[in-house]
Amino acid sequence: MTIDYVSIGLRIRKLRRQKFWTQEKLAEKAEIAPDYLCRIELGRKHPSLKTILLIANAMDITADDLLIDVQKRNIPAAETDEKSLFAGCTEKQKRLILAICHNVKEEMIKYDNIK
């Protein structure tokens, strides 16, 4: 799992600007250094959970407001290959491909058991 710190920083900046606050004002309220907040907003620093909570509390929002949709999902290569394999296929073609794959799998299992 990867966390998208750039998105966290952009969300903090957006919410801060909606309040018409400077970085200095938010940093003061959150009790963090203004240059640290600047680097968080740019995605250059990875804030701890404690820092995220300090910022959220200072802005009178929840940590969820800052963290929503920031988890990057690592898509397994097989899932990506599967999507590209079926791209442009009809349902009938997809079923045929799956049937072939199942047959190949069964034969591989049989082969492995013979060894």
Kindly state whether residues 68 and 82 are assigned to the same domain: no
Kindly state whether residues 8 and 30 are assigned to the same domain: yes
pLDDT digit string (tens) for the chain, length 115 residues = 678 899 899 999 999 999 999 999 999 999 999 999 999 999 999 999 999 999 999 999 999 989 887 765 555 656 666 777 778 888 898 889 889 988 998 888 887 877 6
Residue linked to tokens 């250059």 = 44
- 33: tokens are 């250094």
Kindly state whether residues 108 and 86 are assigned to the same domain: yes
**What single string gives the DSSP state of each residue in 72-93?**
EP---HHHHHHHHHHTT--HHH
Task: Provide the CATH number for the domain around residue 60.
Answer: 1.10.260.40
Kindly state whether residues 29 and 56 are assigned to the same domain: yes
What pLDDT shows up at residue 1? 61
Kindly state whether residues 82 and 52 are assigned to the same domain: no
Tell me the residue ranges of DSSP E strands in the chain.
2-3, 71-72
What pLDDT shows up at residue 88? 82
Q: Specify the amino acid at residue 54.
A: L
Give this prediction's pTM.
Answer: 0.61
Residue linked to tokens 């590209």 = 84
CA quadruple 84, 86, 87, 88: dihedral positive or negative? Answer: positive
Kindly state whether residues 57 and 7 are assigned to the same domain: yes
Kindly state whether residues 35 and 6 are assigned to the same domain: yes
Kindly state whether residues 81 and 96 are assigned to the same domain: yes
Which residue range forms the structural domain that includes residue 100?
Answer: 77-114
Kindly state whether residues 55 and 83 are assigned to the same domain: no
Phi, psi of 2 (to 5 degrees): -120, 145
How many structural domains compose the chain?
Answer: 2
